[in-house]
Amino acid sequence: MDKLYKVNLYGISVIKSWIGQAVCKLLFVLLFCTSFNLYAQQPITVTGTVKDSKGEPLPGVSVRIKDSQAGTTADVNGKYSIRLPNANATLVFSFIGFGSQEINVAGKTLIDVTMGDNATGLNEVVVLGFNQQQKKSSLTAAVSTVSGREILQSPTANTTNSLVGRVTGITAVQRSGAPGSDGATLNVRGQSTYNNSGAIVVVDGIERPNFGDIDPNEIENISVLKDAASTAVYGIRGANGVIVVTTKVGRIGKPKVNYTGNFSLQGYTGIPKALNAYDNTRLINEGLRNEGLAPRWTDAELQKFKDGSDPLGYPDLNWFDYVTRKRYPQTQHNVNISGGTNVIRYAVSAGYLYQGGIFEKFDSPFGINSQPDFKRYNFRSNVDINLSKSLTVSVKLGGRLEQRYQPAGLRAASGNFSYDNLEGMISRILQTPSFAYPVMLPDGRIAQNVDVGTNIWNPLAVITRWGTRNDDNNTVESTFNLNWKLDKVIKGLTFTTNFGYDSYFTSNTRRNAIWAAYTYDRQTGAVTLSSDRPRDEPLSTLISESGGTLRSNIQTGFNYQHTFGKDHNISALLLGTRQLINGEGSVQYTIPPRAAQGLVGRVTYNFREKYFFEADAGYNGSENFAKGKQYGFFPAVSAGWTISRENFLKDVKWLDFLKIRGSYGKVGNDQLDQRFLFLTNYAVTANGVQFGQVTSPTNNQIIYLPNGTGIPAVNGLGNSDITWETGIKRNIGFESEFFDHHLKFNVDFFDEKRSDILTDRRSGLLQFGHLYPSLNVGRVYNKGYEAELDYQHKVGDFTLGLNTQISFSRNRIDNADEPLGSPDYQKLQGKRIGQFFGYKTDGFFTSAEDIARSPVVTFTDRSIPGDLKYVDVNGDNQITTDDRVAIGYSRNPEYTYSFTPRLAWKNIALSVLFQGVANVSSDVFLSEQNNGQQMYEFMLDRWTPATAATATWPAIHSRSSSYPNYQLNDFVLQNASYLKIRNAELSWTLPSQWIKALKLGSVRVFTNGQNLHTWTKFKMYVDPENVNLSNTSFSKQSLYPSSRIYNFGVNIQF
Amino acid sequence: MKAYQLYTIIFTVLLSGLSSCSKDFLDRTPGAALPEDAVFADPTLASQYAINAYTYLVDDYVRFDDHRGTTSQASDEAVSGNLDRSVLYLNQGLFHDHSERVAALNDIVGIWSREYNGINITNMMLSKMAVVPWKVEDPRPAITVPERIEAEMRFLRAFFYFELVKRFGGVPIVDRVYDVNESIDIPRSSYTDCVNFILADLDKAQAKLPAVEALSLAENGRATKGAALALKARVLLYAASALNNEGNDLSKWASAAAAAKEVMDLNSYSLQPTYKDILNVPTSTEYIMMKVRPTRTNTDGKIIDFAQSPGSAGQNGQMNPTQNHVDLYEMTNGKAITDPTSGYDPQKPYANRDPRMTWNVIYNDETYQSRKIEMWSQVNANGTVTYGRDFNPNNPIYTATRYYCRKMWPEVYINKVAGATYINFLFFRYAEVLLNYAEAQNEAVGPDASVYTAINQIRKRGDVNMPDLPAGLSQSAMRDRIRNERAVELAFEDHRWYDIMRWKKGPEIVAQPIYAMNVVKNANNTFTYSKVLMSQNFQKVFRDYMHRYPIPRSEVYKSQGILLQNPGW
């Protein structure tokens, strides 16, 4: 690791001039410093106590004289004393989480202050990139925040699932509920690129891979940086937005010990309703008859399924119910201690999470635990030390150990056909039909039958006899911070350094076993060894893989803040940054460390907090681009106008605050997911051409020139012009507060033109004979809005409130290098990212004549009445793949909205978060065309001649690959919009007289829940968010449902 | 004091920054690049570059969608038992869909791309022949003999172009390496120009390629003079066939016959005495050029997931010969089963048939891998139906026709018990040359003695031992017998589909009704056989314009109107 930052001036003129500007600014500032010293008339001393809204003394509050750097901090008992230059000064009381208050001294010498709980939010301090803090009312950028307290209302294991509905501009989709890998996919303001659209995550000022597994009790707040003004400082990496997480630090005061315990029961949000054996076999017969084939089951056999008279030969078993449990536990404990003196402040925390899994407990002859689970141990120690009045040092250490367990793992050399995750196992459970075979033969041997279908293995055997997999993740994230106030050199100047050093270590360990299965012949009762599971094999030795990553990151430079002549508030930031990531990857082109460095600059100016101007810029580069083309300059400008401070609005009583702000800037996205594309890559491989004796052929080494045909990253032609994506973002926002701050309304409109998106050369002719290099030619346009309305009113002991949010974003691909001649309706261009394409349907075929006079369905000639009728889009009287058009939306919702009524009475508070999405589709689909032909309840409403008028499902077909109905079409593709009771919480803070008797600080008990109810038109029973995209060997419906959580918790402060 | 503090900080920062990195912090480029110039500055590297072209030959029978379809299933030879879309699209005449929706190597855009990739390598190598400092050692390692490399490049380029023209007709001739910024949107050459281009390469190639006798065993699989001549014979046969020879110019047939004769006259090749292991031996006098690959292991998807009966633990027994194909095998007396005097008994359909039937297909009640193959259904006394272990109509992994394909599932291969078998892909084998000769000679001059000799040689093969063709056949009767012989002898070897296309016989042969066998086991353990028309989805569409593949539609879309589509598509 190269330790400290070096200004890199390599061949760049822009930066020189830019530094020049910065230096000019500094000089300008110096000039002001020396000429405007308007000090001192009649010094007085003011004292007082700072309390919170409950009347408890609040230590650690910063007390500052407005327009100067002079100030002090309230002591352990909330008391302060400050000497003022004159009796007319204004004191500013500020404290993170409580906002700030300004009080004109007006000659008083005793001022007691009650800090509000962010009643207005305007004075709230928002954490921006690079540890910058700014008062919310003076922001010119689009930033939304969510506090740690709100996050704690959601009893979710992964913090990413707590954000949705609580903060505008975030879309979150939870694909899976598997313990330990149930985090949501987050996008900031939708997607502006069809490549990696993930926001970068910054924890305590340092970029880190994710924040989902940080104990939510450690989180102070989360800011979402959305527009160019807030993300330009991240330059080449800022275009997808930035999620800034700040962890809790200690405050001056006696040690506070805080315990939180959560005890939850999880259940699934939805599960497919499988048909029983009788209905299932009856429908199989119907499907065969529909196609003129002989039924598979006789009436006598159907009867046996119905009456259960022969449970061995004619079983009826809902496999999902059999192997899963309705309720599975989750517990969470956290103890944290915080406090501090004038010299040292500390916050230490230890947390534990246990998340149980969906499967029932079963005995295993090999000692395999059938229940997946996840355990997480979190530790954090944040210490701030004031070495002197001007020098502060902070050390933040956050560590966690995550242990994930699941039964069954990847069998060695089984290729991509694997049960390597829970989704794969669930896929098989979904397909094992209720009539397949009993769980076991009476003597306890595992039953199975190859005739049921390909790979329809006994689900019980899979979870008790196929092996184990343990995944461990070890993380240590450390942050060292130094702040040195250089007021003696230049008033308002601070030298700051932030250094992060993180270590991530992962390992997974698998053991495999195999079982013998036996086939029971329903006719003869004979038992034979199943050909696909011929023997028992106990657990193998350990198969282990491990790897890790080291990340280091340093930011160092100067911060400046000063007020000139009462009215001119200026701040500036100039930082150098450097980042090095070691250790991901194993081949030549992935193993070199990732490096990035650059400069960050920020200048803000406001006049009387009325007119705001800000310029931000990032100048940075990464190792992933050709020399000379590594660095980009990403500037943004923004401005704000607090109209309510104008004289003409002074007398409008109902208007408390009104601000308009706007920003414009350029940001980049360098997450290409491929490395060194600028290099022309060569490959030599030993697995070349084989010549010689067939019995022992010789592998002749071959050489791929870069014009070879492999993946471009391995041996493609380089493109030295490869560059990052560029986003030009615009934002305009209005913030307002009315009626004594009871009503708040904020709205933001934005758009972005993303260009230079790395795109495969789709228009290059194959005659070229090798792959064309990828080009930065893709363009996407994204626009949208966000609005938030909050109302709160206090009547006596009652507090009523309502928060409503809506976020919308819609994108359009403007260029994806498609062949010019392709028909427009099949092009990606002009459509949204991830747009589904499929057939349009027009009801069901009503009769054979109807089929005969309709266009021929070419992918089947098995059409029968009751099949979906496809629309012949291109009018050639044939239904072919050319008739596929854009249908539905994409998998990512365009609208995310929420409304949260809240109610408090004395010490009891209730809030309910309703959250929904719209304009979203899901192709998760269950049909009878699975390997085992398990069917589901909605198939009872299938089309038959008798039910033609009311049918909601097509006619049943036999299992084959020529079924006509389930090509992706607008019946299969479902509307996945939903409205959920995402979260509800009822809490009660015990009366203080009880607590005093118990000698405790405070006690709060609460009960809350997550995903309590879902309203949706989505037909597939399961949570409309869920889809299996993680194990692509299996169908999309192979999913682990999201959890519904009922939680009881207690928070005790000692 | 103030200045001192500030400068200390700045100085410290800059100093540590400067001292820590003498090289550019962002320069993380992986080392060990091998520039193009270096490759062609070293004869060994250059040769290793050149032989990479071999990997772009079409070199396996089961290639659609990885291992799920063959051209046999597109033609009348077989069906895809589980209607794999890679085959289904061809059966339905939806060649564009076959091209665009079948991910792995499909026969249209997959081949188009693969062959032009190979062509690019040969073009590059041919352009660098003069640059490489070939060593003049004695003895020179065979691999770095420039004349031979050049000949191999020309042979391979010819082969690549032939694979294209046999499918698409004339294609754009790319005869040099184009720069990334150059336009390569060039028009299609005529079929004749393409053939002439191919022949020019082949003539140069055959002159410099080693004779098969000169090829050391370690070089088995590389191009020889015989292979170049065999390719030339095939190219000329295709050029003389109805699809490409509208006026039936007899001189084209004559040159095709002459080219085949040239291979025969080398006297390097002869028929292997056994037909039953024609694809399964390490070497054979019959093999003119083969793809060298090790044995197929007992996890090879091309067998367990394609050809093997689920009754023998296969996963998808989807390579199912049709009754139409089985009916082509003559009786051992040399008569077609349609001949009333042939002695064919529909209830003993597999008795006294051309032995090649047994070596090519697996039928009911045949003893295979030490057990009886059971593809029957039986209605029990109580009305329930049971099925033999190799057949289950309710599960598409079992045969759809009551046949499995032995050529693709050799007897030694028993899933998960015993593995490892060869299924050699043969680019050329001698029997094909004889058949090519007979066909061309019969068209050029009629059924002369040499035609009989060529065909009867094949029929007389040791374990086939079929009677000679009857003397005195008319030209057209002889044509039919040659075509039948070809269908039987080269069954499932990736010939039939293209033969049908060049004969322009798609509507007659492919679009005919496709039949399967129905086998019912009787109470007394005998079988009742009946030929049944297969269900609609196994029937095939073939229209006149399908004798040539469509140019990949995506390529036509990319072209600025220069690359023209074949008529009808």
Which chain B residue shows the shortest CA-CA distance from A4? B17
pLDDT at A30: 39
Residues of A in contact with B36 (CB under 8 A): 705-706
* Contact in structure between A897 and A1005 (CB atoms under 8 Å): no
Predicted confidence at residue B78, as pLDDT, reads 97
Chain A partners of B290 at a C-beta cutoff of 8 Å? 694
Chain A environment of B96 (Cβ under 8 Å): 880-882
Of B302 and A990, more confident: A990
Residue B77: name the closest of B514, B565, B527, B518 by CA.
B514
**Region A385-408: what's the mean pLDDT?**
93
**Residue B66 or A665, more confident:** A665
**Distance from B482 to chain A by nearest Cα, in Å?**
32
Q: State mean pLDDT over A940-949.
A: 93
Between B293 and A732, where is the model more confident?
A732
Phi, psi of B110 (to 5 degrees): -60, -45
Q: What integer pLDDT is reported at residue A31 of this predicted model?
A: 37
User: Looking at residue A460, what is its pLDDT?
Assistant: 93
Residue A936 pLDDT greater than 80, yes or no? yes
Q: Quick check: A415 pLDDT over 60?
A: no
Give the model's pLDDT for residue A37.
Answer: 38
- Tell me if B220 and A693 make a contact (CB, 8 A cut-off): yes
> Which band of pLDDT confidence, cut at 50, 70 and 90, is reported for residue B138?
low
Largest CA distance in chain B: 122
Query: Span A325-350, mean pLDDT?
Result: 93
- Categorize the per-residue pLDDT at A4 as very low, low, confident or very high, splitting at 50, 70 and 90: very low
**What is the DSSP-derived secondary structure letter of residue A462?**
H
Nearest to A296 by CA among A427, A446, A453, A430: A453
Tens digits of per-residue pLDDT, B544-562? 999 999 999 999 999 999 9
**pLDDT of amino acid A212:** 92
Closest in A2, A454, A709 to B397, CB measured: A454
Considering only CB atoms, which chain B residues are within 8 Å of A591?
A: 30
All residues of chain A having their beta carbon less than 8 Å from the beta carbon of residue B22 are none
Alpha-carbon distance B225 to nearest alpha carbon in chain A (angstroms) = 17
Contact B563/B550 with Cβ under 8 angstroms? no
Burial of B560 (0-12, 13-18, 19+ CB in 10 A): exposed
pLDDT of residue A48: 86
Whole-number pLDDT of residue A967:
87
Chosen for mutation from B20, B21, B25, B168 (greatest number of chain A CBs closer than 10 Å) is B25
Residue B137 Cα distances to B133, B140, B142, B144, B209, angstroms = 12, 5, 11, 10, 20
Pairwise pLDDT comparison (A525 vs B11), residue with the higher score: A525
Q: Who has greater pLDDT, A390 or B243?
A: B243
A-chain CB neighbours of B184 within 8 Å are 765, 767-768
pLDDT at residue number A436: 92
Residues with Cβ < 8 Å from B341, sequence gap 6 or more?
B335
In this prediction, residue B10 carries a pLDDT of 58
Can you give the C-alpha Rg of chain A in angstroms?
A: 32
Q: Is the pLDDT score of A60 beyond 80?
A: no
Residue A304 pLDDT: 94
pLDDT tens, A473-493?
Answer: 999 999 999 999 998 888 899
CB contact under 8 A, A3 and B16: yes
pLDDT > 70 fraction of chain B, expressed in percent and rounded = 93
Residue A34 scores a pLDDT above 50:
no
Give residue-wise pLDDT tens across range A888-909. 999 999 999 999 999 999 889 9
pLDDT of residue B519: 96
Query: Is the Cβ pair B30, A701 closer than 8 Å?
Result: no
pLDDT at A778: 95
pLDDT at A52: 74
CB contact under 8 A, A676 and B29: yes
Mean pLDDT of A588-599: 84
pLDDT in tens, A243-261: 999 999 998 888 989 999 9
Inter-CA distances, A728 with A325, A423, A734, B246, Å: 50, 39, 21, 61
d(CA A571, CA A588): 45
pLDDT at res. B32: 58
Q: Where are the alpha helices (DSSP H) in B186-333?
A: 191-208, 225-240, 250-265, 301-304, 323-326
Query: Taking Cα atoms as reference points, which of A125, A96, A129, A126 lies closest to residue A205?
Result: A129
Question: Which residues of B fall within a CB distance of 8 Å from A486?
Answer: 2, 5-6, 9
* 8 Å CB contact of B384 and A298: yes
Separation CA A955–CA A942 (nearest Å): 5
Closest CA to A597 of A549, A548, A556: A556
pLDDT score for A40:
40
Token look-up 């701040």 returns A571
Q: Where are the beta strands (DSSP E) in A24-154?
A: 44-51, 62-65, 71-73, 79-84, 90-95, 99-104, 113-114, 125-127, 133-135, 143-147
Mean pLDDT of B250-261: 97
Mean pLDDT calculated for residue range B105-113: 94
Interface contact flag, B28 A595, Cβ < 8 Å? yes
pLDDT tens-place string over residues B404-431: 999 999 888 776 555 677 889 999 999 9
pLDDT at A895: 96
Of B24, B113, B282, the CB nearest to A695: B282
| pLDDT value, residue A547 | 87
The residue count of chain A comes to 1054
- Best residue of B28, B37, B157, B184 to probe chain A, by most A CBs closer than 10 Å: B28
Q: Do A766 and B380 touch (CB under 8 A)?
A: no
pLDDT value at residue A33:
39
What pLDDT is stored for residue A928 in this prediction? 85
Whether residue A910 is predicted with pLDDT greater than 70 in this model: the reply is yes
- Closest chain B residue to A818, measured at CA: B558
Which of A300, A703, A772 minimises the CB distance to B48?
A: A703
Q: Which pLDDT belongs to residue A417? A: 52
Query: Contact B560/A773, CB-based, under 8 Å?
Result: no
Position B19 scores a pLDDT of: 43
Contacts of A860 in chain B (CB under 8 A): 537
Residue A344 pLDDT: 93
DSSP string, A1003-1032: EEEEEEEEEEEEEE---SSS-TT----S-T
- Distance of residue A704 Cα from the nearest chain B Cα, in angstroms: 6
Residues of B within 8 A of A451 (CB-CB) are: 392, 395
B17, A5: Cβ pair inside 8 Å? yes
Across the beta sheet with A514-520, the strand order is A446-447, A514-520, A527-537
User: Is the distance from CB of B225 to CB of B195 less than 8 angstroms?
Assistant: no
Q: What is the pLDDT at residue A44?
A: 82
Predicted TM-score (pTM) above 0.80 = yes
Percent of chain A with pLDDT over 70: 91
Q: What is the pLDDT of residues A92-135, one digit of tens each?
A: 887 765 667 778 887 788 888 877 654 456 677 889 989 888 88
Average pLDDT (A768-779) is 88
Return the number of CB contacts < 8 Å for A and B. Answer: 267
The per-residue pLDDT for B13 is: 56
Report in angstroms the alpha-carbon separations of A891 from A810, A885, A919, A977.
13, 16, 9, 10
d(CA B294, CA B425) in angstroms, rounded, equals 11
Q: Look over chain A and give the mean of its residue pLDDT values, rounded to a whole number.
A: 87
CB contact under 8 A, B384 and A294: no
| Geometric angle at alpha carbon A551, from A546 and A557, rounded to 5° | 175
Nearest Cβ partner of A682 from B34, B121, B422?
A: B34
pLDDT reported for residue A16 = 41
Percent of chain B with pLDDT over 90: 74
* Least confident segment among A90-94, A386-390, A807-811, B200-204: A90-94
Average pLDDT of B47-67? 91
The dihedral of CA B545, B549, B555, B560: what is its sign? negative
What mean pLDDT is predicted for residues A830-850?
Answer: 94
Contact A541, A557 (CB under 8 A): no
More confident residue, A41 or A561: A561
Report, as an integer, the average pLDDT of A949-963: 84
Query: What number of helices (H) and strands (E) belong to chain B?
Result: 19, 12
- Least confident segment among B16-25, B215-224, B318-327: B16-25
> Which of B427 and A564 is assigned the larger pLDDT?
B427
Q: Verify whether the Cβ–Cβ distance A523 to B221 is below 8 Å.
A: no
Average pLDDT for A763-787: 91
| The pLDDT value given to residue A43 | 77
Q: Report the residue count for chain B.
A: 569
